[in-house]
A and B are shown apart, each in its own frame.
Chain A
Amino acid sequence: MNATVARLTARSLLGRRRAYLLMALPGVLIVLCVLVRLLAGEDNDITVGILGGFALSTLVPLLGLIAGTGSIGPEIDDGSIVYLLSKPLSRHSIAGTKAAVAASVVTVFAAVPVLVAGLVLAGTSNGLAAGYFLGALVAGLAYATLFLLLAVVTRHAVVIGLIYALIWESLVGSYVPGAQALSIQQWSLALSAKVVGAKAQALGVTSAVSLGAAVPLLVVLAVGSTWYAGHRLRSLRLTSDE
Chain B
Amino acid sequence: MAVLLLDKVSRWFGNVVAVNDVTMSIGPGVTGLLGPNGAGKSTLIHMMGGFLPPSAGSVTLDGEVVWRNEQIYRRIGLVPEREAMYDVVTGWEFVLANARLHRLDDPEAAARRALETVEMTDAQGRDISTYSKGMKQRVKMATALVHDPPVLLLDEPFNGMDPRQRLHLMTLLQRMAEQGRTVLFSSHILEEVEQIAGSIEVMVSGRHAASGGFREIRQLMTERPHQYTIRSDDDRRLASAIIAEPSTSGVQLMAAHGTEGFAARGAPSTGSRDGSSALHVQAVDFSAFVRVLPELASRHGIRLYEVTPADESLESVFAYLVAR
A-side residues, CB < 8 A to B, are: 2-5, 7-8, 11-12, 15, 78-80, 82-91, 234-241
> Nearest chain B CB to A173's CB is how many angstroms away?
38
Q: Across the interface, do A8 and B52 meet the contact criterion of CB distance under 8 Å?
A: no
The 5 closest A-B pairs by CB, nearest first: A78-B84, A79-B82, A238-B51, A87-B101, A80-B84
Q: Which residue of B lies closest to A241 (CB)?
A: B82
Q: Known A12-B86, A80-B86, A237-B51; judge A4-B78 contact (CB<8 A).
A: no
Contact for A78 among B49, B81, B82, B102, CB less than 8 A:
B82
Shortest distance between the CB of B114 and any CB in chain A (Å): 14
Given contacts A12-B86, A12-B88, A240-B42, contact A88 B103 (CB under 8 A): yes
Give every chain B residue within 8 A of A5 (Cβ-Cβ): 101
Q: Give which listed residue, A4, A79, A82, A88, contacts B97 with CB less than 8 A.
A: A4
B70 within 8 A of A: yes
The distance in angstroms between the C-alpha atoms of A238 and B103, with both chains bound, is: 24
Which residue on chain A has the smallest CB distance to residue B71?
A88
**Interface SS majority for chain B:** loop
Q: Sample 15 A-B pairs with CB under 8 A, ordered by A number.
A: A4-B100, A12-B86, A79-B82, A80-B84, A80-B85, A83-B85, A83-B98, A84-B101, A86-B73, A88-B102, A91-B70, A234-B68, A237-B52, A240-B155, A241-B82
Known: A88-B71, A235-B68, A238-B80. A4 touches B86 (CB 8 A): no
How many residues of chain B get a CB closer than 8 Å to chain A's CBs? Answer: 32
Q: A11-B86, A83-B101 are in contact. List 13 more A-B contacts (CB 8 A).
A: A11-B89, A80-B82, A82-B51, A86-B50, A86-B76, A88-B70, A88-B72, A88-B103, A237-B52, A238-B46, A240-B42, A240-B155, A241-B81
Please give the distance in Å from B195's CB to the nearest CB on chain A: 24
Question: B29 on the interface (CB 8 Å rule)?
Answer: no
User: Does A87 contact B52, Cβ atoms closer than 8 Å?
Assistant: no
Which A residues are CB-close (under 8 A) to B73? 86-88
Q: Is B53 an interface residue (CB 8 A)?
A: yes
Give chain B residues whose Cβ lies under 8 Å from the Cβ of A84: 101
B143 at the A/B interface (Cβ < 8 Å)? yes
Contact residues in A for B97 (Cβ distance below 8 Å):
4, 7-8
Alpha-carbon separation in the docked complex, A8 to B101 (Å): 11
